[in-house]
Amino acid sequence: MALDFDSARLPDPALRAEHHAWRATLRRFVDAEIMPFVDDWDEAGTVPDALWPKAADIGLLQMGYPEEFGGIREGVDIWHMNIVAEEMARTSLGGLGSSLLVHGIGLPPLVNFGAPELQAAVIPRVLSGERHISLAVTEPSGGSDVARLKTRARREGDHYVVSGSKTFISGGMRADWFTTAVRTGGEGSRGLSVLLIPADLPGVSRTPLSRKQGWWCSDTATIHFDEVRVPVANLIGPENAGFLVIMANFNNERMAMSVGMEAFARVCLEEAVNWARQRETFGKRLADHQVIRHKIAQMKQRISATQAWIQLCSRQIHEGSAQPGDIALLKVQASETLEFCAREAMQVLGGAGYIRGNRVERIYREVRVNAIGGGSEEILRDLAARQFGL
């Protein structure tokens, strides 16, 4: 049996017929609406607006969200979401998920903590692909240290007046709303709140961050707030309790990134195997050289270990016993596996892997954003250590 993207996936007893049906539906969509355009979108630095309503047509945007807002939650579990991350990664277009599915980090705070009127006004329009929402937390002065963010919101009657800036905001240029972490109280985590800030309010401006090492097609921006008057009704959760609102979604983001990174690693494996089978050096196939076979074996070894960890964390999430420390270290494991497999695949492909338009070339230059985004390896190791009582 050929070692490819699908055959390199470990059997998972948790997957049922409905999961396989969802993968088949999603794969047909990806093959028809995304795969033929991957290189063009990457070079153009954008994903076309028309993709969002198409994704909504098959239920991709709505997956996991409440039915009362047009979502699809009944019967949806962590394995459905894992399949989304896998199939998006199969394209090799790393910035795709952070554009098309960026509402996965921008919308949950509103779904879980927002006022009903605010939810009704925003959520259905995002899930239909008509409008867009982004999460605005990271600032120029700091990233993972959320408790020390500086963007300030002072209360004036029925409004908060917001001043400050956010950077590295995925979907920031396209967003109609920003789920924004602001400081409404004193220093530290207990002084934070979350506001839903419409992008068209006076005083909101944005600067594109288009010259990036990877994720070229991803819309990334710096957002500026200059005395922006935001209605108090746009507060998400209680005032000065925003730290918990923000942190509640990090496990989901890290899990999705972990699954995606493992799938990217499998793409690298598939490309390396295909090349090794057809390329000849010194009178025989690359695959007949022991050193190349060992590279491929080591790639599969690390991929399988990461998959086993994903299965463990998925079961814990499904059972309601998720361990933040395990998920944090899973993301580290996945980013290290991706980095190893991208490097080794590059070595196997040689010059062919260095040319743009090659899936390994694209994945190789996007390793670092995966290792940093959603919590860097260093931050997550320390988080895990604290979770384990050290």
Nearest alpha carbon to residue 109 among 193, 16, 3: 193
Q: Are residues 99 and 181 in the same domain?
A: no
| Last residue within a domain, chosen from 189, 217, 240 | 240
Look at strands 192-198 and 284-285 and give their pairing: unpaired
The pair phi, psi for residue 196, each rounded to 5°, is: -90, 110
Q: Output the pLDDT for position 306.
A: 98
Residue range 207-230: average pLDDT?
Answer: 93
Q: Are residues 31 and 45 in the same domain?
A: yes
| Last residue within a domain, chosen from 240, 263, 278 | 240
For residue 318, CA distances in Å to 81, 234, 322, 323, 387 come to 12, 32, 8, 12, 20
Dump pLDDT digits (tens) for 231-275. 999 999 999 999 989 888 888 999 999 999 999 999 999 999 999
> How many domains is the chain partitioned into structurally?
3
Amino acid identity at 46: T
* Residue range of the domain that includes 211: 133-240
User: Do the Cβ atoms of 205 and 167 come closer than 8 Å?
Assistant: no
Nearest alpha carbon to residue 15 among 75, 74, 80, 90: 80
Q: Output the pLDDT for position 1.
A: 62
Distance from C-alpha of 249 to C-alpha of 16, rounded to nearest angstrom: 26
| Last residue within a domain, chosen from 216, 240, 264 | 240
Q: Are residues 339 and 371 in the same domain?
A: yes
Q: Is residue 328 part of a domain?
A: yes
Is the pLDDT reported for residue 147 higher than 80? no
Is the pLDDT reported for residue 143 higher than 70? no
Q: Are residues 219 and 258 in the same domain?
A: no
Q: Are residues 95 and 205 in the same domain?
A: no
Q: Are residues 231 and 261 in the same domain?
A: no
Q: Are residues 223 and 316 in the same domain?
A: no
Dump pLDDT digits (tens) for 295-319. 999 999 999 999 999 999 999 999 9
Give the CATH number, domain containing residue 220: 2.40.110.10
